[in-house]
Amino acid sequence: MIYTLTLNPAVDRELTVPAMEFDSVLRASESRVDFGGKGFNVSRLLKGMEEASTAVGFLGGNAGELLQNGLKNLGIGTDFVWVSDETRTNVSIVTQTHDHYIKVNEKGPLVDSAKQKELLDKIDSLAKRGDWWVLAGSVPPGVADDFYARIVNVLNSHEANAILDTTGEALRLGCAEKPYLIKPNAEEVHAMTGLPVGATAEIAAAAAELRKMGAQNVVISMGKAGAFMQSAEETWLTHSPKIVEKNPIGAGDSMVGGLVWALTHGIALRESLGWGVASGAATASLSGTEVGSRPLIEELFRQVRFEKFETV
């Protein structure tokens, strides 16, 4: 079973404008509303891969109801803890030619300690040996940076697999609990380790440092270039297929979705990362906030190249 955990989800509203102008009133030619949050994006990709998942996290108010109903209408399972404040709304403005965008995220609702305990208890009751849990995104106000670490600890106690995709102190503390895998990008790796990440050898050294912090496996997303993977046994560069990029927002979440889909089917980590890279490329090639479908992902997976990297 796959669970996606989103602590600070959002209603994502996207407006399309002819051109980006500042200090001016812009008129949208198109608008759309999506069910946002990194974990939700993973669940949407999994749905495109014809794989079931259950979305878990905090929701509140009318925006929360909109998200839950939207996910259910997509055929995605839900099991939320409800808070008193309103779930946030994030706004994206993109140009019709997809060459510029602005994204503004609200902070999110305040979550008190009682609701945090309720969620931890829920995870404790749901987690089973061999399950996969994607823990993704920022923490909402009121939630301490060690909350992901506490969740990883609970999952490890049930021998469930945690994939952690967050940033900063929450990622550092989460690593200490030895999640199965973490997925920062190169910029986040630099911020966390202080090490340079310009060259492949530097990225390999930074990945090794993250593994010393506790992460069992490290995947570093590198945008159009693909992704870098390091485990205790091997290190690989996975080169992304060539696409015409339309909207990169959510591509990293789709990468995680393709990765966990493959891992759930018993595919080795190296090849699973290839499915992740293909999934991220598929989403980046589509307009708006669409995610890749299985036929497109399968087509792009055949174009993924793997390059073994020898560490010294």
CA 157 to chain centre: 23
Q: What is the pLDDT of residues 106-149, one digit of tens each?
A: 999 999 999 999 999 999 999 999 999 999 999 999 999 999 99
Averaged confidence pLDDT in the chain: 93
Q: Of residues 12, 131, 165, 253, which has the active-site annotation?
A: 253
Percent of the chain with pLDDT over 70: 99
Q: What is the mean pLDDT of residues 299-309?
A: 93
Question: By C-alpha distance, which of 238, 124, 130 is closest to 180?
Answer: 130
* Contact between 90 and 35 (Cβ < 8 Å): no
Q: What is the mean pLDDT of residues 284-307?
A: 91
Lowest-confidence region among 170-174, 283-287, 297-301: 283-287
pTM of the predicted model as reported, rounded to 2 decimal places: 0.91
Q: What is the pLDDT of residues 52-62, one digit of tens each?
A: 999 999 999 99
Encoded tokens for 256: 């995680």
Question: By C-alpha distance, which of 151, 76, 106 is closest to 9?
Answer: 106
Q: How far apart are the first and last CA of the chain?
A: 38
* Contact between 2 and 53 (Cβ < 8 Å): yes
CATH number of 2-308: 3.40.1190.20
pLDDT of 97 higher than 90: no
Answer yes or no: 253 catalytic. Answer: yes
* Contact between 52 and 30 (Cβ < 8 Å): no
* Contact between 46 and 54 (Cβ < 8 Å): no
**Whole-number Å distance between alpha carbons of 264 and 267:** 7
DSSP bridge pairs for 17: 95
Quick one: pLDDT band at residue 246, thresholds 50, 70, 90? confident
Report pLDDT for 311: 64
Quick one: pLDDT band at residue 156, thresholds 50, 70, 90? very high
pLDDT of 289 higher than 80: no
Report pLDDT for 92: 87
